[in-house]
Chains A and B, each alone.
Chain A
Amino acid sequence: MTVAEAPMVPVVEPAVEPEDDQPVRQQGIAIICYSGELEKTWAAMILASTSASLGMTTKVFVTFWGLQTFVRDGRRVTGTNWMQKMLSIMSRPGIKHRKLSKMNFLGMGPWMMFKLAKQYGVSSPAELLEVAEMMGVEFVPCQMTMDMFGLTREDLLPGMGEPVGAASYLADVAAGLSPIFI
Chain B
Amino acid sequence: MANVTVDAKGLNCPMPIVKTAQAIKTVASGDTVEVLATDSGSVKDFAAWAKTTGNPLVEQTTDGGVFRFVIRKK
Contacts and interface: CB of A to CB of B under 8 A. Distances in A.
Interface of A: 46, 49-50, 52-56, 120-123, 128, 131, 134-135
Contacts of B21: 52-55, 135
Interface in B25-56: 38-39, 49, 52-53
A167 B61 CA distance: 48
B17 A50 contact: yes
Interface of B: 10-15, 17-18, 20-22, 38-39, 49, 52-53
Contacts of B22: 53, 134-135
A70 B27 CA distance: 33
Closest 6 CB pairs of A and B: A53-B21, A50-B14, A121-B12, A122-B12, A121-B11, A121-B10
A46 B53 contact: no
B15 to A, nearest CB: 5
17 contacts: A46-B13, A46-B14, A49-B18, A50-B18, A52-B21, A53-B14, A53-B18, A53-B21, A53-B22, A54-B17, A54-B21, A121-B11, A121-B12, A121-B15, A122-B12, A131-B18, A135-B22
A53 B39 contact: no
Given A53-B49, A54-B53, A55-B53, A135 B18 contact: yes
Contacts of A123: 11-12, 15
Contacts of A121: 10-12, 15, 38-39
Given A55-B21, A121-B39, A135-B21, A49 B53 contact: no
A131 B17 CA distance: 12
Nearest to B20: A53
Contact of B12 (A53, A56, A120, A134): A120
A55 B14 contact: no
Scoring B15, B17, B49, B53 by chain A CB atoms within 10 A of each residue's CB, the highest score goes to B15
Contacts of B13: 46, 122
A28 to B, nearest CB: 11
Contacts of B15: 121, 123, 131
Contacts of B17: 50, 53-54
A171 to B, nearest CB: 25
A118 to B, nearest CB: 10
